[in-house]
Chains A and B, each alone.
Chain A
């Protein structure tokens, strides 16, 4: 299992549906992220009671994104949505330092879930537009992400509010994988995150997968003009 194999599965059957599960604490920005992915208006968001679901068509893939409320009362219901998940997106409010521990615990519990074993996880360090936001590198360290060995993972700075690092619409895999921007991107790599950090996170095929989900997120790394400071991007291939 791993991202590459998922990709192969996806590539061999175009028009495949991808089930994406969006989790995180309340007020992390899951619904805003969901609406951004679907290119919808984000000015009327209300706290989620229950869940939202949206289907987004992108590059021949149909992404079914499930956004489950993050309120403590609702968290016990998360497990009802684990089945058949292709990608887990975990959203963190980077400015809510008081609850880093809580969010870390929830993530750790998710990663221990049997039904989610091997499911690639993309962590969004959201709300980078706020001055008080912690950089993704700090969050990665705090969450001990480098200890994750059993799955493909990546942490990504973003601002769901501005759309920075989120949109899939203008994903261009070609650019994601273009070598020109790489120096800049590589400099930003925290080399020590895991023993298996890929030196080039976006070889053409891998780029497409994360491109699907985080497209310009990656572009943020590779395109010097659109980048948050302190970005960490690591593609750890657990079973290489």
Chain B
């Protein structure tokens, strides 16, 4: 009974607050002569802060048309903007800027949703060693990371050198499917210098701290670093979780002036790999068994950074000023 009462009070409180919020919005609208969407666009800087507010406003709207506008097809965005303007009785001739701003926001919102779907599709596609395209990508990964030492056979212990678990990487992609491979290949292909550096560090990051006798005494020579490819697949999981949970919205809405794409996601992965590597060295773990602890700590740190609406994870490809000012 007590429990029921408490719940009842909570429900009442919820509706009361909702009602109060609506009244407040109504009063402000009458006072300023602007609807919520207008107020957001005029008062908030472009970027994640604005787009996220617009998204929340659209989703929480009482109008079905506005609610569904966040999931329209990218081609239908212009039409949707017209509908919203009409519904809100905003004259586009008096407020030309509003339509443009709204369109930019909606492009990002819809783009993010589509990116989640695209990434999910890649993740669900398992690595198939019968598929020549998959095989080609895998071999490309090797070539980019180890340009000077050719792979002797498709099934070879050499795969361990770039951090796979055994002699055939196909079983290592697991739940991340092709997404893991795509990310690794992108990192190795477009950020080759850093990728090779990270790989070589990962093989023996602590060697310098030991003299040779100590090193041999510890017998940790093989396990003290981490496995590059396996960690890459784990960091793919981390990036995927950030994306699906919506945490990456801040980042993408700040760096992708139009719709965020798979390339943006892969660049984010490169950034996370590099950052994780630095974090790993900073944390100075005793051995690989601490991986999940360090990973968790890193995850929390990134999440915290992403709570800041100004945050962009990869400043080197931030959007150009002119586009952001739209």
Residues on B with C-beta less than 8 A from A77 are 223, 287-289
B166–A47 contact, CB under 8 A? no
Answer yes or no: B133 CB below 8 A from chain A CBs. Answer: no
Cα A50 to Cα B286 in complex, Å, equals 12
Number of A residues with CB within 8 Å of any CB on chain B: 19
A47–B288 contact, CB under 8 A? no
B222–A73 contact, CB under 8 A? yes
Answer yes or no: A52 CB below 8 A from chain B CBs. Answer: yes
Residues on A with C-beta less than 8 A from B240 are 44
Q: Nearest residue in A to B237 (C-beta to C-beta)?
A: A46
A49–B227 contact, CB under 8 A? yes
Answer yes or no: B233 CB below 8 A from chain A CBs. Answer: yes
Residues on A with C-beta less than 8 A from B234 are 46-47, 49
Give the shortest distance, in Å, between B308 (CB) and chain A (any CB).
Answer: 27
Answer yes or no: B226 CB below 8 A from chain A CBs. Answer: yes
Answer yes or no: A240 CB below 8 A from chain B CBs. Answer: no
Residues on A with C-beta less than 8 A from B231 are 49
B174–A46 contact, CB under 8 A? yes
Answer yes or no: A27 CB below 8 A from chain B CBs. Answer: yes
Give the shortest distance, in Å, between B202 (CB) and chain A (any CB).
Answer: 11
Known interface pairs A43-B175, A44-B237. Does A71 touch B289 (Cβ–Cβ under 8 Å)? no
B166–A26 contact, CB under 8 A? yes
Other-chain residue from B165, B176, B222, B226 in contact with A27 (beta carbon distance below 8 A): B165
Residues on A with C-beta less than 8 A from B176 are 44, 46
Residues on A with C-beta less than 8 A from B219 are 76
Would you give the 0/1 interface string for A5-32, flagging 1 where the beta carbon is closer than 8 Å to chain B?
Answer: 0000000000000000000001100000
Residues on A with C-beta less than 8 A from B171 are 26-27
Answer yes or no: A147 CB below 8 A from chain B CBs. Answer: no
Other-chain residue from B160, B174, B223 in contact with A47 (beta carbon distance below 8 A): B174
**Could you tell me which residues of chain A, from 23 to 82, have a CB within 8 Å of some CB in chain B?**
26-27, 42-47, 49-52, 71-74, 76-77, 80
Q: Nearest residue in A to B226 (C-beta to C-beta)?
A: A49
Answer yes or no: B290 CB below 8 A from chain A CBs. Answer: yes
Give the shortest distance, in Å, between B220 (CB) and chain A (any CB).
Answer: 8
**Could you tell me which residues of chain B, from 253 to 296, have a CB within 8 Å of some CB in chain A?**
287-293, 295
A47–B172 contact, CB under 8 A? yes
Other-chain residue from A42, A43, A47 in contact with B230 (beta carbon distance below 8 A): A47
Give the shortest distance, in Å, between B126 (CB) and chain A (any CB).
Answer: 11
Cα A202 to Cα B78 in complex, Å, equals 69
B175–A50 contact, CB under 8 A? no
**Could you tell me which residues of chain B, from 158 to 190, have a CB within 8 Å of some CB in chain A?**
160, 165-166, 171-172, 174-176, 180
Known interface pairs A27-B171, A46-B234. Does A71 touch B290 (Cβ–Cβ under 8 Å)? no
Cα A69 to Cα B277 in complex, Å, equals 20
Cα A86 to Cα B273 in complex, Å, equals 38
Residues on A with C-beta less than 8 A from B289 are 50-51, 74, 77, 80
Residues on A with C-beta less than 8 A from B233 are 46-47
Give the shortest distance, in Å, between A25 (CB) and chain B (any CB).
Answer: 9
Cα A50 to Cα B289 in complex, Å, equals 4
**Could you tell me which residues of chain B, from 210 to 238, have a CB within 8 Å of some CB in chain A?**
219, 222-223, 226-227, 230-231, 233-234, 236-237
Cα A26 to Cα B160 in complex, Å, equals 13
Which of A43, A73, A74, A76 counts the most chain B CB atoms within 10 A? A73
Give the shortest distance, in Å, between A137 (CB) and chain B (any CB).
Answer: 25
Other-chain residue from A42, A44, A50, A71 in contact with B292 (beta carbon distance below 8 A): A50
Cα A72 to Cα B164 in complex, Å, equals 11
Give the shortest distance, in Å, between B129 (CB) and chain A (any CB).
Answer: 14
Give the shortest distance, in Å, between A44 (CB) and chain B (any CB).
Answer: 4
A49–B175 contact, CB under 8 A? no
Residues on B with C-beta less than 8 A from A43 are 175
A72–B166 contact, CB under 8 A? yes
B292–A49 contact, CB under 8 A? yes
Give the shortest distance, in Å, between B266 (CB) and chain A (any CB).
Answer: 17
**Could you tell me which residues of chain B, from 99 to 147, have a CB within 8 Å of some CB in chain A?**
none
Q: Nearest residue in A to B174 (C-beta to C-beta)?
A: A45
A49–B237 contact, CB under 8 A? no
B175–A71 contact, CB under 8 A? no
Cα A42 to Cα B175 in complex, Å, equals 8
Cα A55 to Cα B141 in complex, Å, equals 38
**A residues within 8 Å of B by Cβ?**
26-27, 42-47, 49-52, 71-74, 76-77, 80
A-B contact pairs, 18 of them (CB 8 A): A27-B165, A27-B166, A44-B176, A45-B174, A46-B174, A46-B175, A46-B176, A46-B236, A47-B165, A47-B172, A47-B230, A49-B234, A49-B288, A50-B290, A71-B230, A72-B166, A74-B288, A77-B288
Known: A27-B165, A46-B233, A73-B160. 17 other contacts (CB 8 A): A26-B171, A46-B175, A46-B176, A46-B237, A47-B174, A49-B227, A49-B231, A49-B292, A50-B289, A50-B292, A52-B292, A71-B166, A72-B160, A73-B227, A74-B223, A77-B223, A77-B288
